[in-house]
C-alpha cells in the first residue's frame, strides 16, 4: 500500500470531522428532545415541607405533617452540621460539585461490577440522580434508570448544586414517615441537625440507603453496622481518634412520637403565619415543659371537665416564655382544645390593684387611707365580702391585701366606673361588657370580662414602672407598651401586694427592701373562675382554673386552687433573688392619722385617734372620704368646763368654758369601733347641771327585734314587716338597713321596715354622739 493510500486527504478529514460533529449534534438534539419530552421537573413534593413551630433557641415545639402525612422538617444547608454535609458528599457522591448530574466513572464502575460479580455492588447514582428518584419515583429497570439519568441532567440545568443538595437533605427517606435530615435527627436522636456528632452524621448519611432495614429504633444492630462502615470509609479524612470514639457510641434511638409543646399556641401562630414553614417563637422549651408538667401534676386533684391555663411573660422584653392554654391538649373531657389564655372570663378581684393605683394617681387616697368595710348601699348596690364577714375600719393596704369588696366599691364610686374602665383601656386592658351595658360599680368585683393574656400584660406594669405591655410571641413582633399607672403608684401597689400592708417597718431596717412576689387572687361569681397573678422582678405569671363551659365549681377560689400553682411556677422558673428597690422620687412616707386621714400634726394630737405610717404619692395626704350618711364636717367643736373638762353648753353652765375641736369617724364606722377607740372618739360626759343631755357612755337599744332572731314569712312571696323603736335617746337618730340609710328622724318615731329579701339583714341605729345598737335577723 502506498504512502498516499495510508493518509487521509485534508478534504476527507474535514468531511469526517463534520460528520462526527453532526452525529454528536443529532445525538444531543435527540437527548435534548427526550429531556424536553419528559416535561417539567415535578416540584410538588420538593416544595411541600412540614410547618414547624420552634422555641427561642430553635428547639422544636410542634411539627405539622405534610398533606401526604410525611414529616419533612425544613433544613437549610447553613443550619446543618458541616460534618454531615462533608460526610454525605464523601460517601455518596465525591464528584458532586463537578459532574453534570451523572457521574460516568461511577456508572462504568457499577456496570463492570455487575458484569463481574453478577450482582449489584454499587448503583452508580449521584446525589442528583437520587433527588430525581425522590421527586419522581421510577422502576428499577433500564428504562427507569435512563429516565432517572435524564431527569438528573434536567435538574442540573435548572438548579444550582446547593439547591439540589438542599432538596436532598430535606427529602431523603429516613424510615417510616420521616424524610430529611432534620426530621430524622429530631425524631431518632432528639436533637437538631446542627448539633451532630461524628457518629450521628454517619448514621444519618447511611439511613437513606435502606431506611426500613436500618431504622435505629427498630433495628439498632443493623443501623450500627452500617454506620460503622461509613465511619471506616472516612479513614484518612477524619482522625483515627474521632473515628474510634464515634464507633464506641451506642445506637440509642428515641421512640418515635410527635413533639407537642405549647400546642394551642402553635395552632394559634400557624393560623396567623401566612403559610410560613418555620414559625419562630419567644417560648423557652424548658420553661414550657415545666409549666405543662406542673399542670399535669395537678390534674388528678381536679374534678372532671375542669381545665387550667398559664402564661409566663418576661418583664424586660414582654416575650412569652411559656403558654399553656389548657390543662391537657388531648383531653376532650376537659375541653383541652379550648384556649383559655385568650378566652374572655370574669376577672373577679384581679382588677383591684389597678383601681387603687388609679385612685393614688387621682389624689383620692394614700396607702393608709381610712375605708369602711361595713354593710353599705351604693345607690341600691349592696356588695358583700367573699367570706361574708366585715372588718370595720380598714386601710387601703388592708383592703387590698385582704381583697375586701365593700372598700373597693367605695373607692370606685369616688373614682367613677367609666373613668376607671377608660384608664384600663388606655393602658392596654380592654374589658368586655354585655351588649348595651355600661360600666358600673360591679366591674371591680368581676362584672365584666377579659382574658388571662390581657391581665398578665397589664400586671407587667408593676415591674415596669407603671408601663404595661402586650405579650409578644414572635421575637420579631414590635414592642407594644402603654402607660397604666405612674411609676410612683405602680411602686406603692406592688409594695402593698408584696408586703400585705404598710412597709414603713421594713424601710427603717435598712436602705433597701428585700422583695419577693407581688400577687393577687380573684374568684368570679359562682366560683366559675379562679385566678392568681404574680409579679417578680423578672417574670409575670398568670394562672387560671375553671370550667371552660362556665359551670360553677363550688369551693374553687383563687387562693386555694390557683395560688399554689402560681407559687410552684415561680419556684421552678424564677429562683433569682429579688434585687433591693428604692421608691421613686414621687413616693415618700409620712405618719397619718385616723379618722381624718391627713398628716400627723403634734399641735393637733387630740385629733389623731390612731396613727399609721403611710406611703404618699407626690407628697399628698388626701383626707378621708366625706361621710356618706351624715352631713357636716369631719371636724366639729364643743365646749367643756374649763376646770373639770366635762362637756357643757352656754345654756346649762355659767362657769368658764373653753372650746375643744374633735374629729368625727364616718357614721357607718362608729358602730364597728372597738371600746378603746369609741372612748377616744366620744366627747366627755356632761357636767353637773347639764343633765338631760344624752350621755356618751349611755347606750342606745333597739326594741322590737332581738339579735339573731329568725323571722318567717307569713305567706310565700309576702315580705314580713317589722316595727322598731329606740330607747336611750330623744333627739335625732340614724337608721341603717344593711348599710343603707333607711331613715333620719326623731328617736320618738318608730321605724317601719319591710324585709323583702330572704337571708340575713343587719339593722343599726346611731346618734350624733356615736352611740349605736345593732341587731341581725334572718328571714326564711
pLDDT (tens digit per residue) in 411-425: 999 999 999 999 999
pLDDT (tens digit per residue) in 314-332: 999 999 999 999 998 888 8
Instruction: With a cut of 90, say whether residue 457 has pLDDT above it.
Output: yes
The pLDDT value given to residue 578: 77
CA dihedral 379, 525, 386, 413 (to 10 degrees): -30
pLDDT (tens digit per residue) in 181-208: 999 998 899 888 999 999 999 999 999 9
DSSP readout, 80-146?
S-HHHHHHHHHHH-TTTTTSSS--HHHHHHHHHHHHHHSS-S-----HHHHHHHHHS---SSHHHHH
Worst-scoring range by mean pLDDT, 215-229, 398-412, 731-745? 731-745
632 or 412, greater pLDDT: 412
157 or 255, greater pLDDT: 157
Residue 695's pLDDT band, with cuts at 50, 70 and 90, is: low
Residue 16's pLDDT band, with cuts at 50, 70 and 90, is: very low
pLDDT (tens digit per residue) in 650-663: 888 888 889 999 99
pLDDT (tens digit per residue) in 72-107: 999 999 999 999 999 999 998 888 999 998 887 766
The pLDDT value given to residue 358: 98
Which of 190-204, 290-304, 451-465 is the most confident on average? 451-465
The pLDDT value given to residue 503: 39
Question: How do beta strands 529-535 and 518-523 pair?
Answer: antiparallel
- What 3-state class would DSSP assign to 760? strand
Instruction: With a cut of 50, say whether residue 26 has pLDDT above it.
Output: no
Task: List phi, psi (to 5°) of 383.
Answer: -75, 155
d(CA 394, CA 88): 75
Q: How many CB atoms lie within 10 A of CB 460?
A: 24
Worst-scoring range by mean pLDDT, 140-149, 558-567, 621-630? 140-149
The pLDDT value given to residue 515: 54
Closest CA to 367 of 640, 637, 613, 710: 613
Q: How many CB atoms lie within 10 A of CB 176?
A: 17
Closest CA to 757 of 384, 445, 348, 447: 384
From the DSSP assignment, how many helices (H) and strands (E) are in the chain? Answer: 22, 27
The pLDDT value given to residue 264: 95
DSSP readout, 525-566?
GGG-EEEEEEE-SSEEEEEEEE-TT----TT--IIIIIHHHH
Is 367 in the active site? no
Cell of residue 518, nine digits: 407581688
Catalytic, out of 125, 307, 346, 349: 349
Residue 40's pLDDT band, with cuts at 50, 70 and 90, is: low
DSSP readout, 713-734?
-SSTTPPPEEEEEEES--SEEE
Is 185 in the active site? no
Using the CB atoms, write b or e for 6-20: b if 16+ within 10 Å.
Answer: eeeeeeeeeeeeeee
Residue 25's pLDDT band, with cuts at 50, 70 and 90, is: very low
Global pTM value: 0.81
pLDDT (tens digit per residue) in 515-557: 578 999 999 988 899 999 999 999 999 999 999 999 988 888 7
The order of strands in the sheet holding 732-737 is 710-711, 772-779, 759-766, 732-737, 740-746
The pLDDT value given to residue 118: 57
Instruction: With a cut of 60, say whether residue 113 has pLDDT above it.
Output: no
The pLDDT value given to residue 748: 83
What is the mean predicted confidence (pLDDT) over 304-322?
Answer: 96
What is the mean predicted confidence (pLDDT) over 124-133?
Answer: 87
d(CA 367, CA 504): 11
Catalytic, out of 46, 50, 92, 498: 92
pLDDT (tens digit per residue) in 135-181: 888 887 778 888 888 999 999 999 999 999 999 999 999 999 999 99
Instruction: With a cut of 70, say whether residue 505 has pLDDT above it.
Output: no
Using alpha carbons, list the distances in angstroms from residue 529 to 306, 331, 403, 421, 459.
Answer: 10, 20, 16, 21, 18
Helix or strand holding residue 658 (H, E): strand 657-663
Residue 389's pLDDT band, with cuts at 50, 70 and 90, is: confident
Share of the chain above pLDDT 70, in %: 87
Count of alpha carbons within 13 angstroms of residue 326, beta-carbon side: 23
Q: Are 456 and 541 a contacting pair, CB within 8 Å?
A: yes
d(CA 671, CA 678): 9
Amino acid at each position: 500500500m502506498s504512502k498516499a493510500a495510508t493518509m487521509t486527504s485534508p478534504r476527507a478529514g474535514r468531511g469526517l470531522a463534520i460528520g462526527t460533529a453532526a452525529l454528536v449534534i443529532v445525538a444531543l438534539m435527540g437527548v435534548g428532545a427526550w429531556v424536553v419530552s419528559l416535561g417539567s421537573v415535578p416540584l410538588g413534593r420538593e416544595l411541600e415541607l412540614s410547618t414547624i413551630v420552634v422555641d427561642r433557641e430553635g428547639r422544636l415545639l410542634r411539627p405539622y405533617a405534610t398533606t401526604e402525612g410525611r414529616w419533612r422538617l425544613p433544613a437549610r444547608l447553613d443550619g446543618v452540621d458541616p460534618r454531615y454535609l462533608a460526610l454525605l458528599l464523601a460517601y455518596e457522591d465525591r464528584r458532586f460539585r463537578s459532574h453534570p448530574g451523572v457521574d460516568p466513572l461511577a456508572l462504568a464502575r457499577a456496570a463492570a461490577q455487575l458484569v463481574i460479580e453478577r450482582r449489584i455492588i454499587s448503583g452508580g447514582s449521584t446525589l442528583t440522580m437520587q433527588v430525581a428518584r425522590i421527586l419522581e419515583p421510577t422502576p428499577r429497570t433500564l428504562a427507569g434508570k435512563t429516565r432517572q439519568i435524564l431527569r438528573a441532567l434536567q435538574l442540573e440545568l435548572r438548579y444550582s448544586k446547593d439547591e439540589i443538595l438542599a432538596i436532598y437533605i430535606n427529602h431523603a427517606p429516613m424510615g417510616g414517615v420521616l424524610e430529611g435530615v432534620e426530621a430524622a435527627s429530631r425524631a431518632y436522636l432528639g436533637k437538631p441537625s446542627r448539633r451532630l456528632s461524628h457518629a450521628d452524621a454517619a448514621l444519618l448519611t447511611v439511613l437513606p440507603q435502606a431506611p426500613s432495614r436500618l431504622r435505629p429504633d427498630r433495628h439498632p444492630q443493623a443501623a450500627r453496622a452500617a454506620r460503622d462502615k461509613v465511619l471506616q470509609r472516612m479513614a484518612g479524612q477524619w482522625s483515627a481518634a474521632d473515628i474510634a470514639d464515634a464507633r464506641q457510641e451506642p445506637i440509642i434511638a428515641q421512640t418515635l412520637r410527635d413533639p407537642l409543646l405549647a400546642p394551642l399556641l402553635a395552632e394559634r401562630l400557624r393560623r396567623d403565619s401566612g403559610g410560613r414553614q418555620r414559625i419562630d417563637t419567644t417560648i423557652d422549651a424548658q420553661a414550657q415543659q415545666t409549666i405543662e408538667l406542673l399542670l399535669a401534676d395537678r390534674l388528678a386533684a381536679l374534678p372532671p371537665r375542669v381545665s387550667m391555663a398559664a402564661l409566663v411573660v418576661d418583664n424586660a422584653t414582654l416575650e412569652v416564655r411559656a403558654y399553656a392554654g389548657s390543662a391537657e391538649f388531648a383531653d376532650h373531657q376537659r375541653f383541652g382544645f379550648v384556649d383559655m389564655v385568650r378566652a374572655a372570663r370574669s376577672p373577679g378581684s384581679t382588677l383591684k390593684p389597678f383601681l387603687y393605683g388609679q385612685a393614688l394617681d387621682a389624689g383620692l387616697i394614700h396607702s393608709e387611707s381610712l375605708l369602711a368595710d361595713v354593710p353599705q348601699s351604693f345607690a341600691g348596690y349592696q356588695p358583700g365580702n367573699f367570706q361574708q364577714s366585715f372588718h370595720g375600719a380598714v386601710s387601703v393596704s388592708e383592703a387590698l391585701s385582704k381583697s375586701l369588696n365593700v372598700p373597693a366599691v367605695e373607692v370606685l364610686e369616688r373614682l367613677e366606673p367609666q373613668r376607671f374602665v377608660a384608664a384600663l383601656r388606655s393602658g392596654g386592658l380592654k374589658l368586655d361588657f354585655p351588649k348595651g351595658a355600661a360600666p358600673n360599680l360591679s366591674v371591680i368585683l368581676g362584672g365584666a370580662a377579659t382574658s388571662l393574656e390581657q391581665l398578665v400584660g397589664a400586671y407587667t406594669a408593676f415591674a415596669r414602672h407603671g408601663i404595661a405591655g402586650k405579650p409578644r410571641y414572635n421575637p420579631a413582633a414590635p414592642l407594644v407598651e402603654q402607660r397604666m399607672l405612674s411609676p410612683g403608684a405602680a411602686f406603692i401597689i406592688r409594695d402593698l401586694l408584696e408586703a400585705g400592708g404598710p412597709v414603713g417597718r421594713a424601710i427603717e431596717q435598712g436602705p433597701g427592701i428585700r422583695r419577693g412576689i407581688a400577687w393577687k387572687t380573684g374568684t368570679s361569681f359562682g366560683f366559675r373562675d379562679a385566678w392568681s397573678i404574680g409579679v417578680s422582678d423578672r417574670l409575670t405569671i398568670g394562672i387560671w382554673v375553671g370550667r371552660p363551659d362556665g359551670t360553677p365549681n363550688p369551693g374553687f377560689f383563687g387562693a386555694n386552687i390557683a395560688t399554689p400553682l402560681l407559687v410552684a411556677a415561680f419556684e421552678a422558673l424564677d429562683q433569682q433573688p429579688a434585687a433591693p428597690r428604692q421608691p421613686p422620687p414621687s413616693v415618700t412616707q409620712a405618719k397619718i392619722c385616723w379618722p381624718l386621714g391627713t398628716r400627723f400634726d403634734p399641735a393637733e394630737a387630740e385629733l389623731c385617734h390612731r396613727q399609721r405610717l403611710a406611703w404618699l404619692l407626690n407628697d399628698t395626704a388626701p383626707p378621708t372620704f366625706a361621710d356618706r350618711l351624715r352631713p357636716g364636717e369631719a371636724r366639729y367643736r364643743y365646749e367643756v368646763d374649763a376646770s373639770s373638762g366635762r362637756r357643757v353648753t352656754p345654756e346649762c353652765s355659767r362657769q368658764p368654758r373653753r372650746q375643744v375641736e374633735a374629729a368625727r369617724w364616718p357614721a357607718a364606722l362608729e358602730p364597728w369601733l372597738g371600746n378603746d377607740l369609741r372612748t377616744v372618739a366620744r366627747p366627755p360626759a356632761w357636767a353637773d347641771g347639764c343633765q338631760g343631755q344624752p350621755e356618751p357612755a349611755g347606750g342606745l337599744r333597739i326594741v322590737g327585734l332581738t339579735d339573731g332572731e329568725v323571722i318567717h314569712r307569713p305567706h310565700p312571696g309576702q315580705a314580713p314587716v317589722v316595727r322598731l323603736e329606740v330607747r336611750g335617746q330623744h333627739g335625732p337618730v340614724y337608721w341603717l338597713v344593711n348599710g343603707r340609710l333607711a331613715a333620719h328622724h326623731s328617736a320618738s318615731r318608730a321605724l317601719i321596715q319591710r324585709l323583702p329579701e330572704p337571708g340575713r339583714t343587719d339593722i343599726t341605729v346611731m346618734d350624733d354622739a356615736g352611740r349605736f345598737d345593732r341587731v341581725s335577723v334572718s328571714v326564711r
